[in-house]
Structure 1
Amino acid sequence: MIRNRLAVLLAERQLKISKVSSITKISRTTLTSLAQNDSKMVQLETVNTLCMYLRIPVSDFFEYIPYNLDYYIDVSNVFKYDPREEPMTFDIEAYINVQGESDSFTLDYVGELIDYNIDMFEMSLKPADKTQGEKAKKFFDSLPDSFVAQINSDFEKALLKIGLDGHDKKSSFNVDVSLF
């Protein structure tokens, strides 16, 4: 898994995206997407321009861990409690499939979707049991904090996408992911 360190580099230098955009002529949209590691692709010219502006080698711009991660989230369509009771509650099962250079494993998570109405919902995930929590902690402790934060953010976004399906886009929500 590769991610860029643009957000960290800008924070260390107390630089704002608007200023970097103005000086480098890289669009604010591109810089924001890069800083949030939302980009699926980055042009080498953009990386070159940023490295020159920040006066860093390209090796300082990127971080790498030898794992690929896939997320799977399933919200049950069966009510957890009596459907006549408010709020409607559903079970969530989720997995992070970890593929390393020499090993592969799955981290199992469970949680709930609490659906108050079309305008409000809550979602939470945590390790499926104590063993899964210990396994997840051991894995995430072996990674740089920036990767753990990115993984947590990616998992929350995937969960939120499912939660917003069937809800008003202006819904109030709370999404809580506990990786370990």
Structure 2
Amino acid sequence: MSLDTNSATLRILDLQNLGVATKRSLVRWFQPRPVAHVVSGSPKGILYPLPEVVARIRQRSQRGLSGDVLHRVVTLDAQVRSLRGDDDIYLGEHAQRRVSEFVCCLSPAESERARGAQRQVRESAILLPGVEYLRQITLIHPAVVRYVLSNQADELPCGDAGWRSWVSALWAVNPEKNT
């Protein structure tokens, strides 16, 4: 499945080292494999995007993923993306399916932040066709995921002009035909 490689940041080994679960449990929870990016360079392995990791673990683990462990996972995701130095805005194929899996596992506070981000997208994209599609898929953009999960908004656009520009770029590279 085609994926923005910048958003795939987490390996099973990373999750194990962060105290999410044992390697055996993580391997079992990630079958069949959700959307991922296989890396042959360093570090070698299969990288998963944060929304897929959160959805998969919350769906399959009795402990879920919250508190300090969630904070460590979100922090590692942001650090890896920061080290890469770019912020691709292509969200990949099957974005709506991926969004629905992510949204189903959100806590009430996370859901409220997600709705707030979606309101901002809708207001910023009012003149663009496909506003509803754009409003939905924006929830799997790494900056929005980080905000939804941790209430850290430093990666989100600033001001109305910033949001309009960002939303226009998302709209341009994420056509609705990829649903």
Which TM-score bucket, shorter chain as reference? under 0.3
Structure with the higher helix share, 1 or 2: 2
Q: What's the TM-score, normalizing by structure 1?
A: 0.26
User: Which of the two has greater strand per residue?
Assistant: 1
* TM-score scaled by length of structure 2: 0.26
